[in-house]
Amino acid sequence: MIPTASELTETGPDYAELFKSMGAESRFIPVDKREDCFDEEIQQAMNEASSIFITGGNQLRLSTILGGTPVAKLIRSLNASGVHVAGTSAGAAIMSEHMIAGGPGGPTPRENGVTMAPGLGLTNRIIIDQHFSQRDRIGRLMTALSYNPFVSGVGIDENTAAFIDADGVLEVLGEGAVTVLDPSELSHSSMANTRADEPITLIGMKIHVLASGAQFNIESREAFSLK
């Protein structure tokens, strides 16, 4: 477990107890500053892991502390070799190449509706947002896609997970839903000509709302319901 996003000292121990209660052996590594990411003992501990979990907190703590360090490179290489990498809240947001670092909630995409930062780059096919319906974040995810319509937007509700397998198939599990925004048929975006805080026109954006058991192929951008 990597609790870097949280500034609370109890986050690592609390998650260790949580995973222990579910029958999983775990340990947390104290990466609180960039110099920790060059610690060989920390890298060795990561090399022995069968999975890596990144906790929630502040996305910018993750990107500014981990970015460009041996720990970030190791997470990418371990994931490429088959090690599962998971995260919640900020830990989920940083999975993609382009990360949402902040922005107000609301249903309407606006010119200044999102702040972006580099993520870990485990995938360059999606941008992830979290606490999605609970904090009304569809507007800021649409704004993020208006900058880069190459990717799809994945908005994850609380108590809900999106698992992506080696073939790029995303499967939903949990109590809520995953909202997928697909800009592959976007015919018009006014982002380039929109003034500060003005709403953005986006024509042709597709939306899928996927409940538990539904799937979305992030490569082909096809959605499937298994129910």
pLDDT tens for each residue of 13-41: 999 999 999 999 899 998 999 999 999 99
Give the whole-angstrom CA distance, residue 128 versus residue 181.
10
Report the C-alpha gap between 125 and 46 in whole angstroms.
26
pTM: 0.95
Higher model confidence: residue 148 or residue 120?
Answer: 120
Residue 186 pLDDT greater than 80, yes or no: yes
Q: Which of 26, 111, 131, 133 is catalytic?
A: 131
Is residue 89 among the annotated active site residues? Answer: yes
Q: Count H helices, E strands: the chain?
A: 6, 14
Q: What is the pLDDT of residues 70-96, one digit of tens each?
A: 999 999 999 999 999 999 999 999 999
For 19-88, give the DSSP string: HHHTT---------SGGGGG-HHHHHHHHT-SEEEE--S-HHHHHHHHTTSHHHHHHHHHHHTT-EEEES
**Mean pLDDT to the nearest integer, 123-131:** 97
Domains with residue ranges and CATH for the chain: 1-88 (3.40.50.880), 95-227 (3.40.50.880)
Q: What is the pLDDT of residues 147-182, one digit of tens each?
A: 889 999 999 999 999 999 999 999 999 999 999 999
- Residue 183 pLDDT greater than 90, yes or no: yes
* Active-site option among 89, 96, 146, 189: 89
In the set 26, 51, 133, 158, the catalytic residue is 158
Q: What is the model's pLDDT at position 226?
A: 79
pLDDT for the residue 214: 98
pLDDT(227) > 80: no
Q: Do residues 16 and 27 lie in contact, with contact meaning Cβ atoms separated by under 8 Å?
A: yes
pLDDT at 181: 98
Tokens describing residue 224 = 């499937």
